[in-house]
Structure 1
């Protein structure tokens, strides 16, 4: 399936408040993932692996690090016309000075980049989901159904339906109903599906009788332009998509692989740890559809002595003596002192390798000091954790702090980027 007439738009999201404080100084798609990647690498890699190399990323909040990552990572030769470019909110003569008011408004204000003669279809993607999909298959569903729009749908159980947008599909696969986060039995019944219908289309329903929107869309360009210019809708999922169902033929594309919306601290934490498990639900080693990211020229990781189980260890790390690491993710350039225990934690590493001669007197080095215990925590980049520190949230506190270097969100301890934790700190 040829995707040369298709352009991809990746929606970078808003302020990312549910991922705070990881989004305190960076855009949501720039949040590190799985020791060496960033969230934005997932949708872009899916595009590249599908043969789609014309990609715009729409964002407006704290986009400097995201822009730097895109610039340093994705470069195509001059002969294939490929690009990955960031479209941040900007002042223009036509649209004025307002920031994006939502996902649909962001696309509306960038229609000049979409209304090009060669573009026939527009692929709308989210910048904060973990999945692997061949968009050629989705485009095939779109073309064969002669649909105005196609949406990716995944079977879910009733207990999961209340946190997702649930669709009702007719026998031909056309979407004719949609309820956002149904909370009552009556709402769920209004959009439930017969599991046998799902089974008949080559996907094992396993009794699941709801089809959830994955937030991935293909639109015919002209249809999308009309939907955006004839209304003031600000959100794709809650407004544009339901409107399209009423006025156009919208087809479903069934998907049943791993898919996780990494929109909260808890989801981010659990998805990372799942990637470190022996039978990870998402294969980061898939050679046929790899995850692309910025190439780095780092030394191999050095492990002096320790017990490492069920963990991801990135390049450039220095791990001391008698270190225990279990069910954890250890990011690039992480320095771990002697007698340290790290369990069920995500350590994002550092942006640079620090030399001891550059430290001022009494300054805590970047990394984790000796005799420390880190459990059930997220340590953002460039953290300076002193000696004998214990970060375990033993009291089970759910939420704490706004500006402090140590915070708790969703019951998970977090040391913010560039945060410093003094020797002997315990919480």
Structure 2
């Protein structure tokens, strides 16, 4: 493909509450064996984008460890590669990334040293499948300066937390509001953009000169009347992990057969770093209904409508319902967990009871198994 990829995975999201205190959103576990950034990386490699830069910043240790080898996504090639960019002190700059445009500016040499004519920019916190080639073909056919991937949301979705757009008959964007107080459109930006590389360099450098740091506000919204900015609508599954409720719903969606088939049984595939773990073990007395149980798990109790991530232990007479158990959790005997997300590496003592009532409860127990 005649494009390079940039994945923005450095932001901090306080709406994820305690879940974002120890990891970046791009490193959030999804669907039992994946991280949220795996979907963007898989889309890149499936679209034959060979050169991808990932911009990380906040709580990046877990994310950097996940991306330590490019072989899982087939980026280990002579003509491409997976590049990890974190804020660095240089002679010209000593700041953290102050925004998405500033993050790209601080790594502008990645763009300048590339030869592909186009750039695909996306975030690392969305769950979706997409062939970026189709967006690029649309971009070229429209003779667009920027193409924004967008989606019509159902009437019951709160679109005020997204960027909302309005397009004319030829799909050119006429209005673009970032997180409006009152939305005038139910069409949202998916945070996926296609732009000419030289144009992106010029606009990013101009932003830096004017002390502007945000890609959406200071480029897309500011230039919407001067540049040809078009929208590309999608109808397939797309979910942004922006809140605890979004994260919970995204994982629960994978309990639906049609969603699992779409992501895991239809070409192209979704790839992730593979751990060398044994298959899940179900001991006598275990009962599992409509749940995802990952590799390395041992189940003794009852699990219903839940997602259990890798290396978790479910004790005797436990009842887990409508919950997410993250990696490496030990749950003691006779424990009841319902409508909860249990943080990774937790040790839940025997005879515990947790239930989320008005909202999803995040369970974090003091960890006795680990010193660090």
In the superposition, the TM-score normalised over structure 1's length comes to: 0.80
| CA-atom RMSD in angstroms | 2.1
1:264 aligns with 2:243: yes
Contact persistence 1:150–1:250 (CA under 8 A): yes
Tell me the CA shift for residue 282 of structure 1: 7.5
Unaligned runs of 5+ in 2: none
1:92 aligns with 2:90: yes
Any runs of at least 4 consecutive aligned residues in structure 1 with deviations exceeding 4 A, and if so which? Answer: 75-80
Closer, same or farther: CA 419–277 of 1 in aligned 2, 3 Å:
farther
d(CA) in 2 for partners of 1:214, 1:163: 12
d(CA) in 1 for partners of 2:57, 2:198: 26
TM-superposition CA deviations, 1:332-351 (whole Å, max 9, x none): 1111111110001000121x
1:383 aligns with 2:331: no
1:344 aligns with 2:342: no
Tell me the CA shift for residue 296 of structure 1: 1.8
Match of 1:313 among 278, 293, 296: 293
d(CA) in 2 for partners of 1:308, 1:11: 37
d(CA) in 2 for partners of 1:282, 1:123: 27
Contact persistence 2:129–2:263 (CA under 8 A): no
Tell me the CA shift for residue 159 of structure 1: 5.0
TM-superposition CA deviations, 1:369-399 (whole Å, max 9, x none): 11101101111211101111111145x4xxx
Closer, same or farther: CA 63–182 of 1 in aligned 2, 3 Å:
closer
d(CA) in 2 for partners of 1:119, 1:37: 30
Closer, same or farther: CA 72–419 of 1 in aligned 2, 3 Å:
farther
d(CA) in 1 for partners of 2:68, 2:245: 30
Match of 2:198 among 222, 241, 244: 222
For 1:213-252, what aligned pairs fall within 5 Å after superposition? Answer: 213-231=189-207, 232-252=211-231
Contact persistence 1:382–1:419 (CA under 8 A): no
Tell me the CA shift for residue 108 of structure 1: 1.0
Tell me which residue corresponds to 2:175.
177
d(CA) in 1 for partners of 2:13, 2:257: 30
Match of 2:337 among 374, 382, 394: 374
Contact persistence 2:291–2:303 (CA under 8 A): yes
Tell me which residue corresponds to 1:121.
118
Contact persistence 1:167–1:211 (CA under 8 A): yes
Tell me the CA shift for residue 25 of structure 1: 1.7
Tell me which residue corresponds to 2:103.
106
Match of 1:414 among 342, 353, 362: 362
Contact persistence 1:379–1:415 (CA under 8 A): yes
Contact persistence 2:165–2:187 (CA under 8 A): yes
Contact persistence 2:340–2:362 (CA under 8 A): yes
Closer, same or farther: CA 379–144 of 1 in aligned 2, 3 Å:
same
Closer, same or farther: CA 101–282 of 1 in aligned 2, 3 Å:
farther
Closer, same or farther: CA 130–341 of 1 in aligned 2, 3 Å:
same
In the superposition, the TM-score normalised over structure 2's length comes to: 0.91
Contact persistence 2:50–2:75 (CA under 8 A): no
Tell me the CA shift for residue 317 of structure 1: 0.8
Further displaced range: 339-348 or 58-67: 58-67
Closer, same or farther: CA 117–215 of 1 in aligned 2, 3 Å:
closer
Tell me which residue corresponds to 1:19.
16
1:57 aligns with 2:33: no
d(CA) in 2 for partners of 1:378, 1:84: 32
Unaligned runs of 5+ in 1: 193-209, 351-365, 397-410, 423-427
Match of 1:166 among 164, 167, 177: 164
Contact persistence 1:169–1:177 (CA under 8 A): yes
d(CA) in 1 for partners of 2:114, 2:129: 30
Closer, same or farther: CA 157–54 of 1 in aligned 2, 3 Å:
same
Match of 1:295 among 274, 278, 302: 274
Further displaced range: 214-223 or 70-79: 70-79
Closer, same or farther: CA 9–385 of 1 in aligned 2, 3 Å:
same
Closer, same or farther: CA 77–65 of 1 in aligned 2, 3 Å:
closer
Contact persistence 1:302–1:319 (CA under 8 A): yes
Further displaced range: 100-109 or 11-20: 11-20
